[in-house]
Amino acid sequence: MLGTLEPKRLYQKIGRDIRQQIIDGDFPVGSRLPAERDIAEKMAVSRTIVREALIMLELEGLIEVRKGSGIHVISNGDVIAANDQTLENDVGPFELLQARQLIESNIAAFAATQVNKSNLQSMRAALELEQEELRSGLSSRGDEMFHIAVAEATQNSVLVSLTQELWRIRENSPMWKRLHDWIEKIDYLEDWVEDHKKVIEALASKNPEAARQAMWQHLENVKNTLLRVSDSAEDTFDRYLFDYSPAV
């Protein structure tokens, strides 16, 4: 069972520690957990880790995150709904974003040295699809198409497969889906379209460092936006996924 397995990831360890406090009665049913920032400071971890731990606990049915109201305990841990292997093997959404930021920024840099007109056309077609989907209010498949098109511009099938695998992990992640359940609006996607335009500009100019930085900053913006729009406390957060930007 999930409760007895040794945690594989830091967010699982933090989540298990909070779960034990709930079971021990430190946070009884009906009470509210401390704010994310306070939990992060007490446990000496980043808020991305705390956010992932809370998503895990919500999937287990222990807490409920209410927009503008905080994190409420709704079960004392007698029944953990999501104690299967799927959740145990899931990656945290911000852990995944960090991996994407490191890998895809370097893919973009290499793509700038290999890109051709056909690749740029594919990226622009993906961008048009994103904009069309935004107008219709649909979730954007153009986003995935864009990132894969950037990988295809490397002319390296292994890098394309690696990018596709990162998206497959996202699509199959219960934690990623729950994070998006916390989000009420999608207008922030317009900002990501603008980020994609900057990536295309850098690639079209065949500037590897500009392409690396544009992709790095795009995924940093994704992280910051997801933290902001899914925040139960609606406060600010301004920390890099890494302590510094190796893209600079």
Does residue 242 fall inside a structural domain? no
In this structure, the answer to whether residues 159 and 191 fall within a common structural domain is yes
Residue 243 pLDDT > 50, yes or no?
Answer: no
Q: How far apart are CA 40 and CA 70, in angstroms?
A: 15
**Confidence grade of residue 236 (pLDDT, cut at 50, 70, 90):** very low
Q: How many domains does the chain have?
A: 2
Q: What is the pLDDT of residue 92?
A: 83
In this structure, the answer to whether residues 34 and 115 fall within a common structural domain is no
In this structure, the answer to whether residues 152 and 214 fall within a common structural domain is yes
In this structure, the answer to whether residues 20 and 120 fall within a common structural domain is no
Record the tokens describing residue 31, joined without a space. 């009470």
More confident residue, 208 or 86: 208
In this structure, the answer to whether residues 143 and 99 fall within a common structural domain is yes
Cβ-defined contacts of 3-10 (< 8 Å, 24+)? 3/80, 3/83, 5/88, 8/88, 8/89, 9/91, 9/92, 9/95, 10/45, 10/49
Q: How far apart are CA 46 and CA 36, in angstroms?
A: 9
Cβ–Cβ under 8 Å, residues 92 and 52: yes
CATH number of the domain to which 206 belongs: 1.20.120.530
pLDDT tens digit string along 190-204? 888 999 999 999 999
In this structure, the answer to whether residues 20 and 69 fall within a common structural domain is yes
Does residue 247 fall inside a structural domain? no
In this structure, the answer to whether residues 23 and 142 fall within a common structural domain is no
Does residue 236 fall inside a structural domain? no
pLDDT tens digit string along 70-84? 889 988 876 554 444
Q: What is the pLDDT of residue 115?
A: 98
Does residue 241 fall inside a structural domain? no
- Domain ranges, residue 37: 10-88
Maximum mean pLDDT: which of 127-131, 178-182, 237-241: 127-131
Domain end point (choices 88, 106, 136): 88
In this structure, the answer to whether residues 70 and 162 fall within a common structural domain is no
Domain end point (choices 88, 108, 142): 88
In this structure, the answer to whether residues 111 and 62 fall within a common structural domain is no
More confident residue, 207 or 89: 207
Does residue 185 fall inside a structural domain? yes
Does residue 58 fall inside a structural domain? yes
In this structure, the answer to whether residues 194 and 101 fall within a common structural domain is yes
In this structure, the answer to whether residues 44 and 123 fall within a common structural domain is no
Taking each helix axis from N to C end, the angle separating 174-181 and 47-59, rounded to the nearest 10 degrees, works out to 100
More confident residue, 1 or 88: 88
* pTM summary value: 0.71
**Confidence grade of residue 230 (pLDDT, cut at 50, 70, 90):** low
Does residue 240 fall inside a structural domain? no
Does residue 175 fall inside a structural domain? yes
Mean pLDDT (whole number) for 4-19: 80
Domain end point (choices 61, 88, 115): 88
CATH number of the domain to which 23 belongs: 1.10.10.10
In this structure, the answer to whether residues 219 and 126 fall within a common structural domain is yes
Which backbone phi and psi does 189 adopt, to 5 degrees? Answer: -65, -25
